[in-house]
């Protein structure tokens, strides 16, 4: 099984509903081991826009990184993501942060995620679920976080996979 860390973000429509739908879809690829709380974060770059909601989860899967990437794209499409403005507002952004300790550069995927070590809205929820994790070529998450404390990130809600399971049973 591979350990895959995935980030979720969104600031249009109902990001939390998109997060729930995305987690449900990723459950078809493996087991969601851990999920951070929900963080409200200021946008990083791009046009003037509202704050984002962000989270990170750990998926254990036997699928390839390309299978995981395809699921990310499907989830974004199902939530109405339209790619128009780089770093612009979006209903859902799904990024593969880490796939084991794989370092990879293809046309569609860079691992580890090339800017994750610069983004508090990624590192803080990542540290919540895996406080000792190392990012290949960059260092450990705690040390990296110390260098970017200036970005506004606020943990606003607990959100665990158990809640997803109880929500799924209510939907039936």
**Catalytic site residue 81?**
yes
Helix H or strand E encompassing 1: none
Token pair listed for 168: 């799924």
| Candidate list 34, 62, 67, 95, residue with the active-site label | 95
Distance of CA 32 to the CA centre of its chain: 13
| Candidate list 3, 51, 81, 172, residue with the active-site label | 81
Helix H or strand E encompassing 148: none
| Candidate list 14, 34, 70, 93, residue with the active-site label | 93
Q: Hey, is 159 helix, strand or coil?
A: coil
Upper half-sphere CA count for residue 52 (Cβ side, 13 Å): 29
| Candidate list 14, 34, 62, 90, residue with the active-site label | 90
Active site residues: 81, 90, 93, 95
């Amino acid at each position: 099984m591979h350990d895959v860390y995935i980030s979720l973000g969104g600031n249009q429509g109902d990001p939390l509903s998109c997060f729930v739908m995305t987690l449900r879809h990723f459950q078809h690829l493996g087991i969601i081991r851990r999920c951070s709380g929900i963080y409200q974060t200021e946008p990083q770059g791009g046009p003037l826009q509202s704050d984002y909601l962000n989270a990170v989860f750990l998926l254990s899967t036997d699928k390839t990184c390309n299978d995981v990437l395809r699921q990310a794209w499907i989830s974004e499409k199902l939530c109405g993501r339209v790619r128009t403005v780089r770093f612009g507002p979006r209903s859902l952004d799904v990024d593969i942060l880490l796939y084991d300790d794989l370092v990879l550069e293809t046309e569609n995927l860079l691992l580890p995620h090339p800017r994750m070590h610069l983004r508090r809205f990624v590192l803080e929820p990542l540290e919540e679920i895996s406080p000792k994790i190392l990012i290949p070529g960059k260092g450990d998450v705690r040390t990296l976080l110390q260098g970017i404390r200036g970005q506004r990130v606020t943990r606003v809600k607990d959100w665990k996979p158990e809640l997803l399971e109880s929500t799924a049973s209510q939907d039936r």
